Amino acid sequence: MKSRIKPRRALEKFRDLPPMLENRRGKLRLDMNESTVGCSPRVRAALRRLEAEAVAMYPEKENVTARLAPFFGVTPQELVLTNGIDEGLRLVADVFIERGRGVLLVEPTFSMYRFHAEQRDARIHTVSCGADMQFPLDGVLHALKRPPAVFFLANPNNPTGALLDRRTLAKILDAAERTLVVVDEAYFEFSGVTVLPWIQRRENLVVTRTFSKAAGLAGLRIGCVFAHRETARFLKRAQGPFPIGIAALAAAEAALKDAAFTRRAAAEITRGRTVLENGLRKLGVRVFPSEANFVLADFGPRGPKVIGALARRGILIRDQTATIGRPGFTRITAGTLAQMKRFLRELTRIL
């Protein structure tokens, strides 16, 4: 029987998301671009220090925001702490996307951009990367002429790993005077390229960062949205008072105080990525150049079998068939040198 309780129309049309894979603990997790190094011991210590009173209280986000802003060279008015970038994207969508408004995406890209646009019945315009997965700059500049409300841009991109330099980003922002451009820097610690300082003078720019990747805090859910103070004011207005738990706030602060740990972890993973790329190429697997903590690899028709065989050996990688629209593509998260050696050893046996 059809229910008479009606959700919004966009959600009625929306398909249920497939459940995320669970029971991953103890396996070699190369499927979600998490850290395989772990987090700073100072984060673990900060979590242990949480007292009953701190846990009993609603979390005081403003105090933490004021303390964290200087680490990024911004003012507290330009920083919105969020429950992961995921919540940051939801805030952007809440504030700037409504039924019929344009949203520009480059495909393939991080699936949550489309998720939020579809849930609000936006008019989605996509520009595709070519077969080489390079960024389609001309197509994007053309699409910006009929200004969408929002352009979501992951830099480096997920799942391609491709990175845009600052000159190209400036060109895009100059062409996007009436479009809010979200430059998602989830993988900044691996790429080293950022446009964060530009938020002060560019009102059409939002930059996102996360503690889920290099800092190894994916389980705690904390991220940052940076924007011109006027834009940030609207994002804050759309956010509830207590979106982030005290454990996540304490962990983020401890992680920033131990920036050396995150730098070392990112350097180790980047070395692992080089070993992974070279190893895959030696095995005759096409790999796309990446500046993030993962690589996109094309195994061709044997792709699904390879993923299955690795999973039976306790190694998880991510099928990208649906994202790329053709079987064989997988995304493999880079790990430590030892983890990459184990992965390549098992892969060699399978192939």
Q: Residue 18, preceding bond cis, omega within 30 degrees?
A: no
- Choice from 10, 86, 309, 316 touching ligand PLP (CB under 6 A): 86
Q: How many Å apart are CA 175 and CA 196, to the nearest integer?
A: 18
Residue 68 sits in the site that holds ligand PLP (CB under 6 A)? no
Stretch that binds ligand PLP, among 61-69, 84-92, 97-105, 321-329 (CB under 6 A): 84-92
Pairing of strands 102-107, 123-128: parallel
Give the residue with the Cβ less far from ligand PLP, 95 or 220.
Answer: 220
**Total interface residues for ligand PLP by CB under 6 A:** 13
CB 106 within 8 Å of CB 129: yes
Nearest distance in Å: CB 12, ligand PLP: 26
Q: How many Å apart are CA 113 and CA 101, to the nearest integer?
A: 14
Total residue count of the chain as it appears in this document: 351
User: For 205, phi and psi rounded to 5 degrees?
Assistant: -120, 135
Nearest distance in Å: CB 222, ligand PLP: 7
- Choice from 43, 182, 186, 214 touching ligand PLP (CB under 6 A): 186
DSSP3 helix / strand / coil % (the chain, rounded to 5): 45, 15, 40
Nearest distance in Å: CB 92, ligand PLP: 12
- Bridge partners of 319, per DSSP, are 330
Give the residue with the Cβ less far from ligand PLP, 302 or 321.
Answer: 321
Tell me the residue type at 290.
S
Task: Give the position of tokens 């103890």.
Answer: 26
Task: Report the site for ligand PLP in 166-185 (rule: CB under 6 A).
Answer: 184
DSSP secondary structure, 237-251, as one string: HHS-S--S-HHHHHH
Task: Report the site for ligand PLP in 203-232 (rule: CB under 6 A).
Answer: 210, 212, 218, 223
- Choice from 46, 81, 85, 140 touching ligand PLP (CB under 6 A): 85
Q: How many Å apart are CA 261 and CA 93, to the nearest integer?
A: 33
Give the residue with the Cβ less far from ligand PLP, 65 or 158.
Answer: 158
Residue 121 sits in the site that holds ligand PLP (CB under 6 A)? no
Stretch that binds ligand PLP, among 69-77, 80-88, 115-123, 338-346 (CB under 6 A): 80-88
Give the residue with the Cβ less far from ligand PLP, 240 or 284.
Answer: 240
Residue 279 sits in the site that holds ligand PLP (CB under 6 A)? no
Residue 243 sits in the site that holds ligand PLP (CB under 6 A)? no
Residue 193 sits in the site that holds ligand PLP (CB under 6 A)? no
Nearest distance in Å: CB 189, ligand PLP: 13
349 to 309, 313, 344: CA distances (angstroms): 10, 11, 9
Run of H or E including 45: helix 41-48
Stretch that binds ligand PLP, among 23-31, 79-87, 122-130, 330-338 (CB under 6 A): 79-87
CB 104 within 8 Å of CB 78: no
Q: How many Å apart are CA 90 and CA 95, to the nearest integer?
A: 9
Stretch that binds ligand PLP, among 83-91, 234-242, 264-272, 332-340 (CB under 6 A): 83-91
Give the residue with the Cβ less far from ligand PLP, 37 or 279.
Answer: 37
CB 195 within 8 Å of CB 176: no
Pairing of strands 294-298, 223-227: unpaired
Q: Residue 289, preceding bond cis, omega within 30 degrees?
A: no
Nearest distance in Å: CB 210, ligand PLP: 3
- Choice from 28, 30, 33, 228 touching ligand PLP (CB under 6 A): 33
Task: Report the site for ligand PLP in 96-115 (rule: CB under 6 A).
Answer: 110
Nearest distance in Å: CB 9, ligand PLP: 27
Q: Which residues bind ligand PLP (CB under 6 A)?
A: 33, 84-86, 110, 154, 158, 184, 186, 210, 212, 218, 223
